[in-house]
Amino acid sequence: MSPRTPVVAPPRLLDQTPAAAARLLAGWAAEHGLPAYRGRQMFRRLWQAPIAAWSDATELPRPLRLELDSAFPLPRLAAEAEQLSADGTRKYLWRLADGEAIESVLIPSGSRRTLCISSQAGCALGCAFCATGRMGFGRNLTPFEIAGQVREIVLRHPDDLPSNVVFMGMGEPLLNWPAVDVALTTLNSPDGFGIGARHITVSTVGILPGLEAFARRPEQFRLAISLHAPTSPQRRGLMPVEKKYDLDAVLRAAAAFRKRVTFEYVMIAGVNDADADADRLAHLARRLSALVNILPLHPGGAPDLTPTPPDRIRAFAARLRNQGIEATVRRSRGLDIDAACGQLRVETERRKGGKTEGGAQLRSG
Ligand code: SAH
Ligand code: SF4
């Protein structure tokens, strides 16, 4: 082994697909006169049996571990805050190398562990009801920063590998397609985390070029469309993106998708929760054989928007079901810990500013 000074930045293994990372490691092992099995041992440590640092890969000789530290540094997401809700929901705020902050939420339910991950720091789309939308756009996440949210969970609790992953944290995944594309491969590949494609859901407002790219993936990834209103004028009032990609165009793109689609529908009092809205929504859902996922409104968006009361939500769901639509009302999880999109970051930054104290338990990671 000859120690070499890199002339360019070392390749970031965790930003590659597993196949590309395996090639890099195999090439590096061969260049350094190492047997091929060493390349495979190193590769296992990326996603299959992840380590926090090469020094933890005790199956490798110490000099090799030291060399790997400079050849292929393993970046981490720094846990700035971790909150545990009474219902078992766990929320993480990750601080990124450049100071941006993103969130993930781990939601246990029976034998399932669903991890909700972020694809961007902030979001440019400014939906009225959304805390992330209100903070504006920071930047796109890299593939490592997306799939790394799963990696960090496994590093902390090796038994916590999520059974399901949903892109329902901060950001619009289809406005960061190149990185989301790689991250989907890492999450799904048996050489990565090996999470079944049917257990990975991309949620989007309906960015048409991104939808086309996503539809070209051969795996059975799931698609959730954030609909939130059954007519274009109503939707325009909540979601500025409607001016660019309107409801009709989004529905046509979703209809061309070969997989079953879910509509996400946030219930907002007096805005989209009337019987007539349910009837129009039922009509759209029938057209696409879509499931409808009804979400109670979490606080954090525009202050003038108030949640639809629970009995009205139940009546709305029943009206959809009476028209043959499969509708589920999502249980509000982790309400005691700000567990809706963007809320932990808003809350943590508010506390840092020293404006309030108390509330949910917050501990530094
Ligand atoms: N940008 C993508 C994915 C992230 S948002 C999208 O909009 O689909 C994930 C889901 O959380 C979306 O369905 C979004 O509408 C929902 N959401 C955002 N703010 C919410 C709130 N205050 N209460 C309930 N759901 C919310
Ligand atoms: Fe962005 Fe989704 Fe929030 Fe809209 S709901 S602002 S698209 S993260």
- 34-67 pLDDT, tens per residue? 999 999 999 999 999 999 999 999 999 999 999 9
Distance of alpha carbon 356 from the chain centroid: 29
CA distance 166 to 77: 19
- Domains of the chain from N-terminus onward: 14-71 (1.10.150), 78-351 (3.20.20.70)
User: Which ligand has the minimum distance to the alpha carbon of residue 225?
Assistant: 1
Compute the distance between CA of residue 241 and CA of residue 57 in angstroms, rounded to an integer: 47
264 lines ligand 1 (CB under 6 A): yes
Per-residue pLDDT reduced to its tens digit, 272-307: 999 999 999 999 999 999 999 999 999 889 999 999
CA dist 44 to 16, 37, 257, Å? 14, 11, 34
Q: Is any atom of ligand 1 closer than 6 Å to the C-beta of 250?
A: no
Q: Single out the catalytic residue among 116, 123, 127, 341.
A: 341
Q: Closest Cα to atom 10, ligand 1: which residue?
A: 168
Identify the residue whose C-alpha is closest to ligand 2 atom 6. 133
Mean pLDDT of 166-180: 97
Which pTM value belongs to this model?
0.92
Give CA separation, 266 vs 129, 191, 269, in Å: 9, 36, 10
The length of the chain in residues reads 365
Catalytic residue among 103, 145, 152, 242: 103
**Residue 132 Cα, ligand 2 centroid: separation in angstroms?**
6
Could you confirm whether 116 is annotated as catalytic?
Answer: no
Residue for token pair 């941006």: 100
pLDDT at residue 6 tops 60: no
Pocket, ligand 2, Cβ cutoff 6 A: 123, 125-127, 130, 132-133, 171-172, 205, 226, 341
Three-point CA angle 59, 62, 65, nearest 5°:
80
Known catalytic membership, residue 347: no
